[in-house]
Amino acid sequence: MSRVVVTGRIPEAALAALRAEHEVDDWQEPGSIPRAELLRRVAGADAVVSLLTEKIDAELLDAAGSQLRVVANVAVGYDNIDVAACAQRSVTATNTPGVLTDATADIALSLILMSTRRLGEGERTIRSGRPWKWGMFFLLGSSLQGKTLGIVGMGGIGQATARRAKAFGMEIVYQSRSELDPAVAAELGARRVELDELLSVSDVVSLHCPYGPATHHLIGAEQLESMKPSAHLVNTARGPVVDEAALASALRAGTIAGAGLDVFEHEPEVHPGLLELENVTLVPHLGSATVETRTAMAVLAADNALAVLSGQEPPSPIR
């Protein structure tokens, strides 16, 4: 029987699968596990099931010891994991792609609608008790029909977002490292362009690219300046893809019309300049936050850990 450390609270279905075969040491407190406690607990672990709030780096891998075989991340993004350090120690790293595609695409479309239709402003107006009444020009937003959605990162979530936007009558352009399958491109009516062109022609830009050195501050002051003054930016990828200080300045100056953010550069902190603005919708990393999706993510992470511990190929290794 192997020892599995779970770094945070996960759905019972995943814990039950792990406990059926192995000894499980799981952190049950509502907050994140303190770093010192995590380093103590991983000592001697054969597997670590990690949440994105925990950094899996050389320090932690060394604290675990040479018997560690797998780190199973309960997330599709894995910028919290030093994959190279895992590989150097023959530790398999896995993630949970696919199972959160629809939930995250739903949030992306929700943010598109909230930003373009100024729904957050409307909700805050009522809750604040400020007087209001219907008027021809009261809180006018913009429609999506006939507008262009620019998708940065056309993986599964980007494609799912495109399908939703197409149903709203939007045209699709995308920037990605690889060309879409011709059948998918035809289905979506999607045209591949370079980032500069995407930013200049899009009425809404939605970010779905992975985070890494190449995408750090991919959207900064220069890129925001190249967008339409009427355009909106949505980020459901990772916070540091956007320079938040530059975004706050652009929103304040009217360089772009609005933004919707589900992720933040220094999460859970939010740039104070954004908190002061009405033309930005802010939600606390809810992209995968449905009961069904979070359960599927945790179960897939458990399946990844169980597969490696039994000497099999995991369902979703990080390549």
- Would you please indicate which residues are annotated as catalytic (active-site) residues? 238, 267, 285
Looking at the DSSP bridge assignments, the partners of residue 280 are 259
Residue corresponding to tokens 């018997």? 67
